[in-house]
Structure 1
Amino acid sequence: MVPDTTYEFYNEADQYVIYLRKNGEYQRPLVINRITQEITPANYERPYSDNVSSKPSTIYGILGTIRLLSGRYLITVDKRGLAGQICGHKIYRALEISVHRFAKSTSDLNEEEMETETAYIKMLKRVLGIESFYFSHTYDLSLSRQRLSGLSPDVKQQNLFGMTERRFVWNGFLLDDWCNLVSAVLNVDPIYAWPKLEDFVTPVILGFVGILQPLTPISSSFGASEDTPCYALISRRSFFCAGTCSYARETDKVANAATAVETEQIAYIPPGHIFSFVQILDPAPVICSKQPNLFYKTPMKIDYDGKDSANGTDVQSDKEGDKNELFGQIQVAPEEVETIKSDILGVCSAQQYGRTIIINLLDEKSLQMRLCRSYVDEADLRNQSVDFNRECSAHQWHRLSSLLDRLEPEIVAMRQLRLRSVGPNLTISVLQDSQTGVFRTNCLDCADRANVLQSMIARRALELGLQEAYLVSAVSRGKSDFMGTIWPKFEQAFTDIWAENAYVLSFQLSDTKAFKTDSIHMGKRTATGVLMENSHSADCYLQDSINLFLGHYSVFDSDGSPKKRIPANAPVPALRPELLP
């Protein structure tokens, strides 16, 4: 079992004292002086609590610091929940996160600045209260299993923050500020064995982590009686161009896709078989904007000239209810085509995804049809299109199975990661196969239709991997309980975890549950699912809070002076230019 890491946190009037407790032993603490706002290591001997009146609290992670009007704030994980274990590494979900002001007093702020400071704190707590931040002190959740297996031994010896995939580390902005402060004061005196910087750093991802294991060890011909199978589903949201689906749409000017998610399934089947398959979820890579209003489907503006999408052309009719109106082919500017290609091909290559197969779930009419044509026709990409609403109308779910059959040759061709572990705790593994391509599913409602299809692709990939490893036969592969001999009742657990993944991502993107997960659970639409679809709501406050948390919005102007406060009664359109970078 990998040792755990916790901290003792002393919250005193004049200082904060943070002790690292690792492998059952206490390291020398860091001290934050609340008067000077300086950080220094200390040579306090344990037990420190004998000399102070305050009792320590246990914290489980340090997310970093952020500078507001009164100074810096320290952000810590106060409560956690065990999501499960991956290859012996404990994965946690942050249940409660606190914000601690460095400054002892805010007396130097005037009334308006104090109100603004309070508003900023509420915005930070809005993001920190999402309860979908995951972390591990020993396992890099930002990297797929394939990328982890490809790291050299020297790189693996680095601290977690040093080797993370930064686009998936949501507290990267906070950690940059914190690391600059702490690294300047550690190792200043060779007499003392100071703790390392990485011991006070906790990278987190935002998304979903679900881990399944049988309630009792499985005894079969595949492994020892105490060897337990494991299935993990990890969804990592990129913080580039991040936000709610009502405001963060499609791509930005540097080809970052809005609301992008990398989803990985990891399966361990005893004795020592590890499988990993990665998919990516992105909106249509078109430069456009969308502001919420009272319409169910909000009109969207597409950027034709490479300038500001807000000045583009409205591509949707004011007749929102006219479902049959078809629009002509959109004329995409050459620079936008290059952005599209850069987004899909360049980004996928940089992230080692390999060959990209587009699965297009946009409706083939109205606005969505034009988005579809704008990048499929112009960018000349490998594409599989399906109009989800048309193909599956009247509950014809068997048509999705037909699409899956068409995709199976692509699943076989792109392969998947297969490792064979030969060491304790799966620490030593032999590479047997690698994933050489990726499915990129495009959908305007990212956590909805796409999740249905992604779950089906993931299941088919797992079937193929188990068959190739001779863990299941070709006959049993097509059955609903294909894992029955390895893991009884796996099928229901699999559908439940994918449905939960959709719920969680939908809440993050729009503060609503996913609309079509009833088709995952039941294989059909239900009345409840249809009613939920009509309760979609936008959250501009969450979008602004995310911009502040990620550092996309600074509370200071370029000259270092605080930005002027926005009037409380300002209309929504007036907020956007002020709060967006």
Structure 2
Amino acid sequence: MKGLHQRLNLYINTDESYIFIPAEPVGARPLVVHRHSGDIVLDSPNASIPSSAKRSSKTIYGILGLISLSLSEYLIVITGRELRGTLLGHDVYRAVDFDILPLDPGASVSSPSHPVEAHLLALVRLHLSNGVFLFSYDFDITRRLQAQWVARERDEGKAFWEAADDRFFWNKFLQTRFIDITIANPKNDLSPYILPVINGSFDVRTSSLNGRNLQLCLISRRSRFRAGTRYFRRGVDEEGHVANFNETEQILGVASRKPDEYSTRLSFVQIRGSVPIFWAEVNTLRYKPDLQIMDGHDSVDALTRHMQEQVALYGDQSLVNLVDQKGHEKPVKEAYERYAAEAGVPKVRYQYFDFHNECKHMRWDRISLLIDSLHDDLIRDGYFHIDADKPEPLHWQLGVVRTNCMDNLDRTNVAQAAIAKWTLDLQLKAAGILSEKDTVDNYEDLQRHLREMWSDHADLISRAYAGTGALKTDFTRTGKRTRAGAFDDLKKSILRYVKNNYFDGARQDAYDLVTGAWVPRKGPSSALFLITDNRPLIIRAAPYVLMFSLFMILAGLTLPRSSDYSLFYYFVLWLTTLTLSLAFVFIHGIDYVAWPRLLPPTDIIHYNGPGFRSAHNGKGFGVNMGTLKAGASAQWLARGLRRTDRQMDEIELGTKKRVD
């Protein structure tokens, strides 16, 4: 494929243009971005640099793309990279520092002229600082090894962006202008500057086993479709895209000649994704949100689209469902089974595993029961295996295991790690490294690498979706469930609660802005809803009353007193005020959640169609049997956020209406 420029020198020609000159190869055509017109062109080779242009002190390691906000367009460039490892001879980097360059000469990134622009820029920075963005200049990390091998002849002469997997090309929306210019005018081919980036995880380790040098790699790729946070992106959309979809590939390289030349390569792919029906959990400040399943949507069609796409991409599907069969999660399990049976998609087999019941009392080694039930499917699906000395692959992966729990995080991580380890045993035996009766468990060094990689991978996926590291990683790291690990899970669960209720609205907005799910119109007046609070005064005042009451109680503990009863009525007053204000906040809990503002989930909150609703907590005193009456506490959501929906329709979002 066509090469990518690895290092760029940036020259800023006053208010006229940004000039990017490749450090190598010498004489490559510079990229010029004209700030007034917004034109992006290639200059002639060895073009002279204007005398008025000043060189930036920072080296540019790639252009993430271009984003348009309410006042200006901005170039996002990578100014810092970290080598994460070398995969089969190819360097893989993580982008760690970014600069945002305004095209409008009058715009300022550090001091925007309008609070709406400042808010949008803050969302962009939030997304850049929270994500794990990975790239390579000479290897397509958006696609698994088998997909690359199948398309090797078709990829000849293509640019990286043309061959990239569209699902995992995370900055595809940011690169839209560059791609459109290249397609419209091949003579102005910007391909060497279009760097595909994935959002996910990457780890690579080297080891030796029975005299053979090995390289073990784990890479996950997160889909840019229906991307978001734990409670604000659930289920499926009309196109069949599910929330928190990740493709995870475990790659094994075996050196046969030189120690670092891995001529034998084996790959095993698994996928995870939200339960592919229309469902959501509505935050109300309670630890367990209200569960909502929406049967009014065409769930069968959406599930069918999702499954057909997975079959087309990966082959046979083994659907492993780890959702509990009782309690809060039971309706999700039942709806999934009902719609999957009704859809009847060929080459799809459903497999339920009652994780919490089978592995209770910290007996998580019983995950082996799931492996036993999947044995025939795993043998059928296989793995990808190529050898440099053979013209054709020795094995193909003909199917995948698709695993889910409620969040597709903690239970899913444990199951996927166990399946990956079982398959690694199979691969090592096929490569002639392990005997038929041998196992990875007998080799502590390799087993430790495998556990650490899967645990770190679990943490990164969990931070992206839930805001904290994964739960249950003590089992993944050590093979044992411990009380210390359970206590660590408790701390993470509390942190998840705080983040999911009070901080994830902004994180969701950042996802929607950077991936192009929401596109602002020029002029900040159309987006004033981002910086205004439409809630009634009493709703906004309650937390201040609560905090003041708490302050007065603490202050009363230090006040002098003439007798034990001198402050009795004082404490009664403020304890009563504290209790009433706290009760008010939880009764109207939905009003205190930090909801996304760009694409608010009002159709979920106010859903009244057929389906299942666990409760209608936190909607104030006006709720009657699931119906939100006029004058209810959450009325501002209907008035404010639904008005926001109309505003967004007016400013032509450029996106289809989403389920949540």
Calculate the TM-score normalised by the size of structure 1: 0.83
User: Cα gap change, 1:562/1:113 in structure 2, threshold over 3 Å: closer, same or farther?
Assistant: farther
- CA distance 1:219–1:398, shift in 2 (3 Å): closer
Within 5 A, what are the aligned runs for 1:519-530?
Answer: 519-522=475-478, 523-525=480-482, 526=485, 527-530=487-490
* Contact kept? 1:291, 1:300, Cα under 8 Å: yes
Maintained 8 Å contact 1:39/1:185 = no
Higher-Rg member (1/2): 2
How much has 1:102 moved relative to structure 2?
A: 0.8
* TM-superposed deviation, 1:52: 4.2
Cα shift readout 1:225-246 (whole Å, capped 9, x = no counterpart): xxx4211111111111110011
Contact 1:60 1:76 in 2 (8 A): yes
In structure 1, the residue matched to 2:119 is 119
CA spacing shift, 1:55–1:565, aligned 2, 3 Å: closer
Tell me whether 1:342 sits opposite 2:305 in the alignment.
yes
Aligned to 1:314: none
* Most deviating of 565-574 and 411-420: 565-574
Alignment of 1:48-447 (within 5 A): 48=49, 52-106=53-107, 114-181=114-181, 187=187, 196-214=189-207, 218=208, 221-222=211-212, 228-271=213-256, 272-306=263-297, 335-344=298-307, 346-351=308-313, 353-380=314-341, 382-422=349-389, 430-447=392-409
Report the RMSD for the aligned CA atoms in angstroms: 2.7
Q: In structure 1, what is the Cα distance between the partners aligned to 2:383 and 2:351?
A: 20
**Residue 635 of structure 2 corresponds to which residue in structure 1?**
none
- Give the whole-Å Cα distance in 2 for the aligned partners of 1:49 and 1:273: 51
Do residues 448 (structure 1) and 425 (structure 2) align?
no
Asked if 1:21 is matched to 2:26, the reply is no
Q: Secondary structure at the match of 1:521?
A: helix
Counterparts of 1:535 and 1:151, CA distance in 2: 44
TM-aligned CA distance change 1:5 to 1:113, over 3 Å: closer
Q: What is residue 465 of structure 2 aligned with on the other side?
A: 509
Q: Deviations over 1:99-150 (max 9, x none)?
A: 111111139x9x9972111111111111111240111111111111110010
Please state which structure has a larger fraction of its residues in helix. 2
Once the two structures are TM-superposed, the CA of residue 375 in structure 1 deviates from its matched residue by 2.1
1:554 is the counterpart of 2:545: no
Secondary structure of the 1:459 match is: helix
Q: Secondary structure at the match of 1:230?
A: strand
**What amino acid is aligned across from residue 481 of structure 2 in structure 1?**
K
Q: Conserved in 1, the CA contact under 8 Å of 2:112 and 2:118?
A: no
Are the counterparts in 2 of residues 400 and 453 from structure 1 also a CA contact under 8 Å?
Answer: yes
Change (3 A) 1:25 1:250: same
Paired AA for residue 391 in structure 1: E
Q: State the distance in 2 between where 1:167 and 1:349 align.
A: 15
- Structure 1 equivalent of residue 345 of structure 2: none
1:532 alignment counterpart: 492
Q: In 2, Cα distance between the equivalents of 1:503 and 1:152? A: 33
Deviates more, 1:148-157 or 1:116-125: 148-157
Following TM superposition, by how much is the alpha carbon of 1:46 offset from its aligned partner in structure 2, in angstroms?
7.5
- In structure 1, the residue matched to 2:433 is 471
Moved more, 379-388 or 438-447: 379-388
Q: What is the one-letter code of the residue matched to 1:119?
A: H
> Cα–Cα, structure 1 residues 3 and 229, in superposed 2: closer, same or farther, change >3 Å?
farther
Give the AA of the match of 1:234. I
**Is the partner of 1:357 in helix, strand or coil?**
strand
Change (3 A) 1:382 1:186: closer
Q: Which moved more, 1:81-90 or 1:433-442?
A: 81-90
User: Residue 62 of structure 1: CA displacement?
Assistant: 1.0
1:340 aligned partner, one-letter code: L
1:137-193 Cα deviation digits (max 9, x unpaired): 1111111111001004232431110011111111111111233346667726xxxxx
* 1:93/1:131 contact within 8 Å kept: no
Unaligned runs of 5+ in 1: 189-195, 223-227, 307-334, 423-427
Give, in angstroms, the shift of residue 384 of structure 1: 2.1
Find the residue that maps to 2:527 and give its secondary structure: coil
State the percentage of identical aligned residues: 26
2:533 — aligned with what? 569
TM superposition shift of 1:55: 4.2
Q: Which amino acid aligns with 1:16?
A: Y
Q: Residue type matched to 1:302 in 2?
A: I
Q: Give 1:9's aligned amino acid.
A: L
Would you say the 8 A contact 2:267–2:383 is kept in 1? yes
1:241-290 Cα shifts (integer Å, max 9, x gaps)? 11001110011122211111111111101222211011110111110222
**Contact 1:40–1:185 (CA<8 Å) still a contact in 2?**
no
Aligned equivalents of 1:105, 1:549: Cα separation in 2: 23
